[in-house]
Amino acid sequence: MVCRSCSHTPLTPVLDLGTTPLANQLLAEADLVRPEPTYPLDLAYCPGCSLVQITRTIPPEQLFTDYVYFSSFSDAMLAHSKELATRVTKERGLGSSDLVIEIASNDGYLLQYYKELGVEVLGIEPARNIAKVARERGIPTLAEFFGKELADKLRAEGKRASVVHANNVMAHVPDINLFAAGLFSILADEGVALIEVPYVREMIDRCEFDTIYHEHVFYFSLTALTALFGRHGLKVVDVELIPLHGGSLLLSVAKNGAKQEIGPRVAEMLADEKRVGIDSSAYYEGFSRRVQALRVELRRVLGDLKAKGARIAAYGAAAKGSTLLNYAELGRETIDFVVDRSPHKQGKFMPGIRLPIRAPAALLEERPDYVVLLTWNFKDEILAQQAEYRAAGGKFIIPLPHVSIV
């Protein structure tokens, strides 16, 4: 296979997670009598530009035209977004004459805070059902995919962004070069793109294999991103490691001709990545063995609990949960049901393993002895929300990076 970023071939295999269903394609009850389509889920490394990527591309129109993830159902996400919008508005002196665009703006969870501060906003969200919710909340939103064509169209209409946000979307875009070219087109000359991407180093070091699914085409390092942006007239001027989603990079990206200088943290992280070998296939060699060992450990712990008569549920009908449960082959013989805060998921079934999805109140109604925390990236928030269940004796099983019980 050819690298989607730099066209190098061949790629080096890293991990094979088998053949799995699409992680966010939740099932209705009527779907249970029909077979589900499944696709190979393999991870590979590019020796040419260091970009880690899956080998099979599912068309974005198949994945994102109708979507089930609403960002506003996470209190932690909302708190992070409000702080970010307030900080950026103050630091860059944004006002009513400025435009802030978010790519993959979801339900307006971030742009709402800019709007409250008097800044013009525009959301770009390809999922029609979610774009509709954002518009109903007063956030102007285009239900389209972002790329150079859309960026050029907006630019021709006189729209130039002082700030572009792209939170956890670049990993979802198979044609990453058109995305980067679109950023260059839509940015004002002194504008900045603030981009959040899950960090491949955290994924490898913490064995976070469940973040791998067909929607996530890429797993980024700063090394790979610097090469990508450089080909499109862009530069990374700052970078910060943030805890969101198990470890993410927050990048500040500007045009090469912009006055912003490249900050010291960029050079420091690039040097650190070089030191640990992120630009070498050797860095990824042990990942597959560690993932297989974690699968064995999780199945053993849950099997032992089940043998002792324990009742087990799971929390979080997220894509990462689908990857983990399907790879570990944990279905109804082990887990009774999954709970999730989103009413858009309740009443449906997890893909592949077909566990029913219920509201979190089911934990108090059914009193399972243990709950596997599939959305471990929101651990503190969820454990706090479930204080009553825990006070009644319920325990949570944290599956990564090692199986632990709290």
State whether 271 and 161 are in the same domain. Answer: yes
Closest by Cα among 43, 64, 352, 18 to 211? 43
For 271, the token pair is: 């040097």
Domain membership flag for residue 44: no
Query: pLDDT of the chain along its 406 residues, tens only?
Result: 899 999 999 999 999 999 999 998 999 999 999 999 999 999 999 999 999 999 998 876 676 655 555 555 577 778 888 999 999 999 999 999 999 999 999 999 999 999 999 999 999 998 888 899 999 999 999 999 999 999 999 999 999 999 999 998 999 999 999 999 999 999 999 999 999 998 999 999 999 999 999 989 999 999 999 999 999 999 999 999 987 766 899 999 999 999 999 999 999 999 999 999 999 999 999 999 999 999 999 999 999 999 999 999 999 999 999 999 999 999 999 999 999 998 989 999 999 999 999 999 999 999 999 999 999 988 998 999 999 999 999 999 999 989 999 9
Residues 381 and 247 in one domain: no
Q: Are residues 224 and 75 in the same domain?
A: yes
Q: In total, how many domains does the chain have?
A: 2
The reply to whether 3 falls in a domain is: no
Longest dimension (CA), the chain: 66
In a domain, 228, yes or no: yes
Looking at the domain assignment, is residue 41 inside a domain? no
CA distance 160 to 154: 8
User: How is residue 300 written in tokens?
Assistant: 């053993």
Same domain, 271 and 383: no
> Has residue 46 been placed in a domain?
no
The reply to whether 193 and 311 lie within a common domain is: no
- Compute the C-alpha angle 349/351/355, nearest 5°: 40
Cβ(145)–Cβ(127) under 8 Å? no
356: in domain: yes
CA distances from residue 94 to 91, 123, 289, 384 in whole angstroms, order as listed: 8, 17, 49, 35
Where does a domain end: 223, 254, 284? Answer: 284
Answer yes or no: do 308 and 338 share one domain: yes
CATH number of the domain to which 101 belongs: 3.40.50.150
- Find the CATH number of the domain harbouring 328: 3.40.50.720
Q: Which of 255, 284, 313 is the last residue of a domain?
A: 284
Whose CA is closest to 2, among 58, 63, 48, 59?
48
How far is the C-alpha of 183 from the C-alpha of 288, rounded, in Å?
35
122 and 234 fall within a common domain = yes
Cα angle, residue 192 at apex, residues 191 and 196 outer, rounded to 5°: 160
Residues 166 and 306 both lie in one domain = no
Of 232, 254, 284, the last residue of a domain is 284
* CA-wise closest residue to 109 among 143, 74, 142: 74
Copy the structure tokens of residue 178: 């058109």
Are residues 244 and 382 both part of a single domain?
no
Check whether residue 270 and residue 172 sit in a common domain: yes
Range of the domain at 394: 300-405
Q: In which residue are the tokens 């087990």 written?
A: 312
Helix (H) or strand (E) run with residue 85 in it: helix 75-91
Residues 214, 81, single domain; the answer is yes
